Structure 1
Amino acid sequence: MAQYWDSSLDNYYDRPATPQPESSGGDPMDVDDGKPTQSEMVTMYTGRRTGAGHEMPEDIREETIRSFTEMAAWPFGCQASMPTLPPRLTVRTLLFPIRQSFGAARSPKDRQLARKGVMEGPLFTGQCRPETTFRGADEKPGSGVSEVCDLYREVGAMLLAAQERAREGMTEVKPGEGKWWATRPRWGGAPNDGIEGDANNSDEQPATAAESGKQDAGGSGSRKRSKHGHAAGPGSRRSGNGRRLSNSERWKQVQPGPSVWDKRMTYMQIGKIQDSPFDDIYMVSSINHHLAILHLRVHRRYLDMLTTGESEWPAGTDSTGQGWDELRLRRTRWYDVLDGGERVEAFQGVWRIFHYLMRRREGS
């Protein structure tokens, strides 16, 4: 990160674009009058940086902040790892993609579960963003469109963490599970060849067995894998015998949508105040070479209404006067990761989050 953002050793100077030729010392063949010629000057740089800040790859910031958080996680028996599934915020029947760089979770006491990579939590989440411009020249601080969008990204990531923590003791209901369009055959059960039938009725000539074999051989080796380790494209699902499903077979499948729950995560509200409808959500947010710690207090009824549109939790307020339909967001100042004093102060804040969430409850 310092190779793109550390400007403490920056040094700019001007020099001629082409160096001046050395004097020949009275060469009789030299017809130059000896006067220096005017050459174009260029600005040169010496320092630590190898590129501008906006040119830094995203994974450098993500790995830096994740490693910074993991230094405080290990003493508490926790880990900071990247999500294994694409993070998506559930808003009734919609799934919104969310930027989530990493999440902090607790390792289980059972060694067998720990070896399988099962975690408990999440405790809090982390989000790193590559944006470097947040307002235009004619926009006032706090009123820029990019600033508001950046705030929405942070709130969305914290609401996703709140939804995951609220899954404690619940059973997943996949999208479309129990619905008629995910259980009954298409066209009322009437015979329909689907894609193959449409191909037979078209003027296109079907591919021969040799050509289809070449396509399958080329496609299986050239399929790329996504960031989260899953094969990209609709051909990632396979049948029970390991054979790749054809387009017609995939089209004929009638089943609920894919799961949005992480199979290797035991969802728990670790650190939540018992008998309280509010949950405290924390997040480590990072832009440029700075980080800040955010705190969001959200009511369980708010999460239920956001997720399913209905809730059994009664509407009410707490001692601070916050209603169930309110979101209160607080943040620290932005700490400079390249400054030693501010880096220590930010680390103390992350340590206190782990210390608070991992505190011993009464009766446990």
Structure 2
Amino acid sequence: MFSLHTLIPAAPVLSNIKPEDIPPPTPVIFPHCYLQVQDDNDDDQQQADSVPSGRARKPITKLLQSIVRPGDLSISHLEALGAHVIPDSTPEELIPDPSFIPDFAAWDALSSEEAHLKNESTRKRLNNGALSPGCQTYLDRKRELSIDNDAAFRTVRRLPAPKGQPQARLGNAYEFYRHLEMFTSYWDDTSKPVPPGPKPTDTDPKEKDEPKEAQYFRTSSGDKMPPDCRGGMLTSFLKLVAYDFGCNVSAPRVEPRLLITTNTASPRSRSSYFTSGCTFLFRSPTTREAARAGIVEGPLAAVSARHTISFTPDPSTNKESLLDLSRELISALITAQHRARENKTEKRIGEDAWWATKPRWGGGPGGPIGREIEAQSAKSTNDVILGDKDAPPPPSTPTPAPTTTTIPPSPFPVPAASSSSSPSPAPTTTTTTPSSSSSSSSSSSTTTASIPRRPYSSLSPTSSRSSTNPSSSSSSSSKRLKTKSSSSSKEGKKQNPIYDAYRRLQPPNPTWDKKAKYSAIGRVKSADYDDIFVISGLFHHISVVRVRVPNRLLQVLEGDLSELDKKGGGGRSWGKVEVRRSQWYDFFKEEERIGAVQLLWGVMAWLMREDKENQKEEEKKNGDVVMSG
């Protein structure tokens, strides 16, 4: 509540702003990339044979791996994938079973008392064991999103309401209006007929004496808006519906990657991936312990907020529209791969491969490299290798006693793994003592002389006791010797961390989240496809995309290619990838954001529906008997 974005300073008065200082508004042009493919009834072999001879026949995996940078993407890649785009779909066409869409027209006609009485009858059982929100919750969200933008912005800016008007109560939509108020600095409020701007007007002399209220208007263009603002807007709007269904939007702890493998049956199989900046909609756990541990279930859908605004009306010359559609497809395919991980274990790329298990220098134990070879080639301790940043600092030699002669060790330690190096001689100490001293005093003086004393050790009580007790002195000196030798051995092990990292052999880092329970929540088990929903955001608009991903396509991306897939050139064993998109809903307009809430409500009701087949299987496993009659 007290974040940085809520404390917005007041803008100057209109008379102090020059109109030429405000940049022009950013035009809102949506991407137009509507690809069409042949029907599924056509023979795939005829599709492959009908391809011109000049066209390269590559499998879809090799064709996708040929994309190195965004400029390499062309429409042929999406055609080979089989993308079939259907724009402006209705909610009944987007949701596989329209019966899960509530009768919002009947709910809108209910009064507050009638909604309170019928609320329990409109709630349904979900797959997490809880009940879905009813008509009363929907009317609360509708009332919160129906507040006028100016009144909501005054509450966010902590300004008092005008005289004679009550203060707007935002409720659960406070975060949404806070992000929407940030948008007003970069985008014009489309709910108003005329965009606000600094236009000097003639005022009466009486009005000049009255204090003027600060005016808020757009001061920058849309391309100057920070990228995180749009993602925060989508998340805050989606949470208005997802929270009541027991779900939440969270960023992935592991980078989302679309994994692609050429051919697992070939010894030259190659694996690569495409990254994405999308977030996911997960189902929250029902236990408190799992929630505190950060466990998530799903994912249910993907949330993709993109920041491209340079779309052109002509789709034939619009490269950005093709890239925007590709980003949505990558988010959908990544979500499909995550949902397909249910009841599976991760197999890391390069696991048990030769390049991750065998040394790269011929299979032997290896030898010295880099500065280690130069250290071995040193003929004596006087040889110094200048600029050796990998070698440890030379040990500090204490000031010897007058009766002690110490030979310092070599400043360049030789690795223990090398067999050709000769061990350096241990430091020797020669002590001269009077002949009249006894053997015990001689051994005691030899031990104490070989170890330098600490400063002012004679003033401490421990040193006086150690001097009177020879046994305690020898034991303490041996402890100091052990500590010194152990520290020197540790320094020898850590002397070349770069070389140790080079010698280490291991596959790449894992790509699965350890705290995520991957499951295909809301999927029709008897179908050979998975309906993936992508919540897409552009400009100050939101849209819902449903991508029907065949199971066969996921197998092909994992490297399981058939004879038709190996030929390439248009043959697809998975058929096509159907992409249905809803209209673009404007966040500034009241009726459109309510329509977006109704669409998201139907999507969540479909994904979180009660799985009766799975419930019957669990009852059979547990031995429960359902009594009827």
Give the TM-score category using the shorter length.
Answer: 0.7 to 0.9
* Residues 292 and 331, structure 1, Cα contact 8 Å, conserved in 2: yes
From the superposition, tell whether residues 74 and 178 of structure 1 become closer, same or farther in structure 2 (CA, over 3 Å): same
Where does the alignment leave 5 or more consecutive residues of structure 2 unmatched? 1-182, 202-214, 262-270, 378-384, 395-493, 563-571, 616-629
SS in 2 for 1:266: strand
* Aligned 1:1-364 pairs, distance under 5 A: 1-7=183-189, 8=192, 9-13=195-199, 47-92=216-261, 93-100=271-278, 102-135=279-312, 140-141=314-315, 143-187=317-361, 188-194=363-369, 196-197=371-372, 205-207=387-389, 209=392, 246-310=497-561, 324-363=574-613, 364=615
Per-residue deviation, residues 9-35 of structure 1 (Å, max 9, x unmatched): 4225489xxxxxxxxxxxxxxxxxxxx
In our comparison, the structure showing a higher alpha carbon Rg is: 2
- 1:340 positional shift: 1.2
From the superposition, tell whether residues 10 and 118 of structure 1 become closer, same or farther in structure 2 (CA, over 3 Å): same
Q: Greater relative contact order: 1 or 2 (C-alpha under 8 angstroms, separation 6 or more)?
A: 2
From the superposition, tell whether residues 310 and 323 of structure 1 become closer, same or farther in structure 2 (CA, over 3 Å): closer
Cα separation, 1, equivalents of 2:603 and 2:586: 19
Of the structure 1 ranges 4-13 and 296-305, higher mean CA displacement relative to structure 2 is found in 4-13
From the superposition, tell whether residues 210 and 204 of structure 1 become closer, same or farther in structure 2 (CA, over 3 Å): closer
SS in 2 for 1:5: coil
* Residues 195 and 247, structure 1, Cα contact 8 Å, conserved in 2: no
Cα separation, 1, equivalents of 2:605 and 2:369: 57
From the superposition, tell whether residues 189 and 49 of structure 1 become closer, same or farther in structure 2 (CA, over 3 Å): same
- 1:244 positional shift: 11
From the superposition, tell whether residues 175 and 113 of structure 1 become closer, same or farther in structure 2 (CA, over 3 Å): same
Higher relative strand content: 1
Cα separation, 2, equivalents of 1:199 and 1:170: 50
From the superposition, tell whether residues 143 and 356 of structure 1 become closer, same or farther in structure 2 (CA, over 3 Å): farther
From the superposition, tell whether residues 194 and 122 of structure 1 become closer, same or farther in structure 2 (CA, over 3 Å): farther
- 1:66 positional shift: 0.7
Of the structure 1 ranges 333-342 and 1-10, higher mean CA displacement relative to structure 2 is found in 1-10
SS in 1 for 2:351: coil
Cα separation, 2, equivalents of 1:195 and 1:356: 62
From the superposition, tell whether residues 85 and 190 of structure 1 become closer, same or farther in structure 2 (CA, over 3 Å): same
Cα separation, 1, equivalents of 2:519 and 2:495: 37
Per-residue deviation, residues 323-358 of structure 1 (Å, max 9, x unmatched): 723100010011111111111111111121111000
Partner of 1:28: none
Of the structure 1 ranges 119-128 and 71-80, higher mean CA displacement relative to structure 2 is found in 71-80
From the superposition, tell whether residues 116 and 310 of structure 1 become closer, same or farther in structure 2 (CA, over 3 Å): farther
Counterpart AA for 1:165: R
Cα separation, 2, equivalents of 1:142 and 1:180: 47
* Residues 126 and 284, structure 1, Cα contact 8 Å, conserved in 2: yes
* Residues 3 and 49, structure 1, Cα contact 8 Å, conserved in 2: yes
- 1:169 positional shift: 1.0
Per-residue deviation, residues 135-183 of structure 1 (Å, max 9, x unmatched): 3xxx613651111111111111111101110111111011100111111
From the superposition, tell whether residues 191 and 150 of structure 1 become closer, same or farther in structure 2 (CA, over 3 Å): same
SS in 1 for 2:185: helix
Cα separation, 2, equivalents of 1:336 and 1:267: 33
Cα separation, 1, equivalents of 2:374 and 2:258: 38
Cα separation, 2, equivalents of 1:352 and 1:336: 19
- 1:246 positional shift: 1.6
State, as a whole percentage, how many aligned pairs show the same letter. 33
TM-score after normalising by structure 1: 0.73
Cα separation, 2, equivalents of 1:66 and 1:275: 32
**Please, what is the CA RMSD of the aligned residues?**
2.6
Counterpart AA for 1:10: P
Higher relative helix content: 2
From the superposition, tell whether residues 284 and 204 of structure 1 become closer, same or farther in structure 2 (CA, over 3 Å): farther
- 1:302 positional shift: 0.6
From the superposition, tell whether residues 183 and 75 of structure 1 become closer, same or farther in structure 2 (CA, over 3 Å): same
SS in 2 for 1:148: helix
Cα separation, 2, equivalents of 1:104 and 1:53: 27
From the superposition, tell whether residues 118 and 193 of structure 1 become closer, same or farther in structure 2 (CA, over 3 Å): farther
Per-residue deviation, residues 201-243 of structure 1 (Å, max 9, x unmatched): 9x972026469xxxxxxxxxxxxxxxxxxxxxxxxxxxxxxx8
SS in 2 for 1:186: coil
* Residues 197 and 218, structure 2, Cα contact 8 Å, conserved in 1: no
TM-score after normalising by structure 2: 0.43
Counterpart AA for 1:58: P
Where does the alignment leave 5 or more consecutive residues of structure 1 unmatched? 16-45, 212-242, 312-321
* Residues 256 and 277, structure 2, Cα contact 8 Å, conserved in 1: yes
Counterpart AA for 1:54: D
Cα separation, 1, equivalents of 2:344 and 2:546: 25
From the superposition, tell whether residues 115 and 245 of structure 1 become closer, same or farther in structure 2 (CA, over 3 Å): farther
- 1:86 positional shift: 1.6
From the superposition, tell whether residues 245 and 91 of structure 1 become closer, same or farther in structure 2 (CA, over 3 Å): farther
* Residues 242 and 248, structure 2, Cα contact 8 Å, conserved in 1: yes
From the superposition, tell whether residues 194 and 65 of structure 1 become closer, same or farther in structure 2 (CA, over 3 Å): farther
Cα separation, 2, equivalents of 1:193 and 1:134: 57
* Residues 2 and 338, structure 1, Cα contact 8 Å, conserved in 2: no
- 1:193 positional shift: 3.5
Cα separation, 1, equivalents of 2:500 and 2:542: 49
SS in 1 for 2:186: helix
- 1:186 positional shift: 2.8
* Residues 371 and 388, structure 2, Cα contact 8 Å, conserved in 1: no
Cα separation, 2, equivalents of 1:112 and 1:326: 43
SS in 2 for 1:347: helix
Cα separation, 2, equivalents of 1:112 and 1:244: 44
Counterpart AA for 2:186: Y
